[in-house]
């Protein structure tokens, strides 16, 4: 069951939203999220369900970090400052009569309450800029708590993807606000028949006929991207073991902890059972793709960290592309670094998507 979007008139706050130009900017750090609901429901099964979904561990990181940082707000304490938070979720069910539920229910018009009663399949509505510019607000509701828990659980991936995409949209605006590294983009179009938006701060670290490495070194972290290609052979190129092999061939040839020491090449870490390399079939901007995610390390164990890559075929040139982002940032939180690298990777375009001359 997909998330159902109801017309804005259903939610009273949506109809009252002001012009974003006259609003303060949404506040908070990337990944911050607040659930506004009655205290009894937050401490009960409904709250535990929400917490387990949005505070779930982000896959592919070397240490535990949640996908979002969700916190609860008592509706009676939703003050002016908290209202401006970047991600808000209002939650209520009609079978609950607590004081917090009563306050959240006031956000709904009488017409919307009737629709909730008569159409139990509708459980979610989203809107923007309710209290602040750049804010995302979701409303979760149902006739009864049991039904809402069921709907949330069966649509958990979509709910998470909604906010994850909004965070990536915000990040994209920030990343490319100052423009792009034109030389990298031009070289990819000319020599690789593809393109990726490279934000300022990244530099070309290495370039070969079928490989380009882009890098940004900061005091706190080292962010890396690379694009590699080969002639597409068959569907077996997408198999997990073959992708790992292709990735390791690339790393062995071009990526080193110390370029002067050939035994410091990077490699895929496949020996940690509780953080396995995963390969998932996905839709990547309309292309069939496989997402490879896990940990990397240097052959000498001197460095390591998370990576995320995408394998896809350019139908126009029959080239098999593997594009990846990885980071070396020991002791630092890496969730937002990987979200940044993923945001950049999703700007990748094949030859058939490039502007016609």
The answer to whether the Cα torsion of 309, 311, 315, 320 is positive or negative is: positive
- Give which of 142, 153, 163, 168 is closest to 70, Cα–Cα: 163
Q: How many CB atoms lie within 10 A of CB 292?
A: 24
- Helix ranges (DSSP H) in the chain: 12-15, 39-43, 45-54, 80-83, 99-105, 110-118, 145-154, 156-175, 182-187, 240-254, 335-345
Q: CA 254, 234, 276: angle at the middle one, nearest 5?
A: 55
For residue 4, pLDDT over 50 is answered with no
pLDDT at site 18:
59
Model confidence at 218: pLDDT above 60: yes
Cβ neighbours around 305 below 10 Å, total: 23
Question: Which of 355, 270, 352 is closest to 319 using CA atoms?
Answer: 352
Per-residue pLDDT tens for 167-213? Answer: 999 999 999 988 898 889 999 999 999 999 999 999 999 999 999 99
Mean pLDDT for 123-146 is 96
pLDDT of residue 21: 78
Q: What is the mean pLDDT of residues 261-290?
A: 96
pTM value? 0.89
The structural domains of the chain, ordered by start, are: 8-175 (no CATH), 182-353 (3.40.1000.10)
Asked if the model's pLDDT at residue 122 lies above 50, the reply is yes
Residue 2, pLDDT score: 40
Mean pLDDT of the chain, nearest integer: 92
Indicate the range of 7-16, 30-39, 76-85, 124-133 predicted with least confidence. 7-16
How far apart CA 277 and CA 267 sit, in angstroms, is 12
| Structure confidence at residue 48 (pLDDT) | 97
Query: Is residue 229's pLDDT more than 60?
Result: yes
Region 272-283: mean pLDDT is: 95
CA distance 104 to 114: 16
Confidence class for position 22, pLDDT limits 50, 70, 90: confident
Task: Count the neighbouring beta carbons within 10 Å of the beta carbon of residue 217.
Answer: 13
What would the mean pLDDT of 327-338 be, rounded to a whole number? 94
| Greater pLDDT, 277 or 19 | 277
The pLDDT tens digits of the residues spanning 96-112 come to: 999 999 999 999 999 99
Strand partners, 87: 136
């Amino acid at each position: 069951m997909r998330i159902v979007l109801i017309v804005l008139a259903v939610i009273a706050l949506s109809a009252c939203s002001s012009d974003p130009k006259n609003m303060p900017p949404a506040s908070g750090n990337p990944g911050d999220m607040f659930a506004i609901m009655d205290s009894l429901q937050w401490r009960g099964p409904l709250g535990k369900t929400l917490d387990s979904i949005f505070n779930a561990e982000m896959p592919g990181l070397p240490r535990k970090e949640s996908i979002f940082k969700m916190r609860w707000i008592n509706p009676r304490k939703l003050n002016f400052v908290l209202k401006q938070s970047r991600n808000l979720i209002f939650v209520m069910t009609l079978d609950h009569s607590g004081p917090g539920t009563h306050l959240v229910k006031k956000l709904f018009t009488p017409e919307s309450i009737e629709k909730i009663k008569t159409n139990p399949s509708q459980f979610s509505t989203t809107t923007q800029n309710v209290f602040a510019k750049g804010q995302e607000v979701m409303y979760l509701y149902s006739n009864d708590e049991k039904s809402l828990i069921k709907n949330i659980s069966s649509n958990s991936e979509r709910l998470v993807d909604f906010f994850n995409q909004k965070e990536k949209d915000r990040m994209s605006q920030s990343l490319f606000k100052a423009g792009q590294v034109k030389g990298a983009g031009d070289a990819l179009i000319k020599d690789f028949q593809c393109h990726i938006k490279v934000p300022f701060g990244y530099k070309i670290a290495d370039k070969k006929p079928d490989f380009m490495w882009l890098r940004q070194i900061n005091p706190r972290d080292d962010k890396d991207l690379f694009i590699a290609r080969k002639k597409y052979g068959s569907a077996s190129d997408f198999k997990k073991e073959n992708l790992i092999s292709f990735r390791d061939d690339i790393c062995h040839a071009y990526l080193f902890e110390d370029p002067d020491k050939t035994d410091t090449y990077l490699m895929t870490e496949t020996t940690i059972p509780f953080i396995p390399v995963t390969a998932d079939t996905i839709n990547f901007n309309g292309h069939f793709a496989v997402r490879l995610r896990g940990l990397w390390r240097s052959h000498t164990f001197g460095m390591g960290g998370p990576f995320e890559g995408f394998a896809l075929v350019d139908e126009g040139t029959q080239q098999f592309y593997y594009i990846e982002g990885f980071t070396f940032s020991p002791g630092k939180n890496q969730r937002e670094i990987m979200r940044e690298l993923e945001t950049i990777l999703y700007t990748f375009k094949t030859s058939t998507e490039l502007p016609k001359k």
